[in-house]
């Protein structure tokens, strides 16, 4: 089981696409184990996007991400980090494949609706930035007996 940090960016909230985008993740079988609406501070944006500091789009990215509230999610599932990236699609809305969140809901390259951790190390770091102790639920879901094949003793 993996947990990924997902952000429904300010454009997703302003365009009233929170429900539609969240449905994509839920319908796939991912479990919501953390969720909150929040305004990202300058400091938090800088920490979250530290690897992009100095890039031409960095200032605009921080301005965008701090401009209006976002919905922050912790999503759990088998291979959740890669599964989420596949559901999101390529970075640029104009290039993202049809059927993906970015491909279906947007066309902008910077206002691309959703952030998702890009690997286990990033996920651990980002979950720690956005969720405090006790804010991520450790509960099992009734439906998981049908979402996964658990005949071997572990979900597959």
Active site residues: 115
Stretch that binds ligand IDP, among 28-36, 72-80, 106-114, 147-155 (CB under 6 A): 106-114
Query: Please, what sign has the CA dihedral across residues 97, 104, 61, 6?
Result: negative
Q: Is 91 in the site for ligand IDP (CB under 6 A)?
A: yes
Q: Is 97 in the site for ligand IDP (CB under 6 A)?
A: no
CB of 141 to ligand IDP, least distance (A): 28
- Looking at 14, 23, 110, 145, which residue binds ligand IDP (CB under 6 A)? 110
CB of 9 to ligand IDP, least distance (A): 7
- Looking at 10, 115, 127, 131, which residue binds ligand IDP (CB under 6 A)? 115
Question: Which residue ranges make up the site for ligand IDP (CB under 6 A)?
Answer: 52, 57, 61, 91, 109-110, 112, 115, 118
């Amino acid at each position: 089981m993996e947990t990924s940090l997902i952000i429904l960016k300010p454009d997703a909230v302003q365009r009233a696409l929170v429900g539609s985008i969240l449905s994509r993740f839920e319908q796939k079988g991912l479990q919501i184990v953390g969720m909150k609406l929040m305004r990202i501070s300058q400091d938090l944006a800088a920490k979250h996007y530290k690897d992009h500091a100095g890039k031409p789009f960095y200032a605009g990215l921080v301005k965008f991400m701090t401009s209006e509230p976002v919905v922050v999610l912790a999503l759990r599932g088998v291979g959740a980090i890669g599964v989420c990236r596949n559901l999101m699609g390529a970075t640029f809305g104009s290039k993202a494949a049809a059927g993906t969140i970015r491909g279906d809901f947007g066309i902008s390259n910077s206002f691309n609706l959703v952030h998702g951790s890009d690997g286990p190390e990033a996920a651990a770091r980002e979950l720690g930035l956005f969720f405090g102790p006790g804010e991520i639920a450790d509960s099992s879901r009734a439906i998981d007996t049908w979402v996964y094949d658990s005949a071997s003793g572990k979900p597959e």
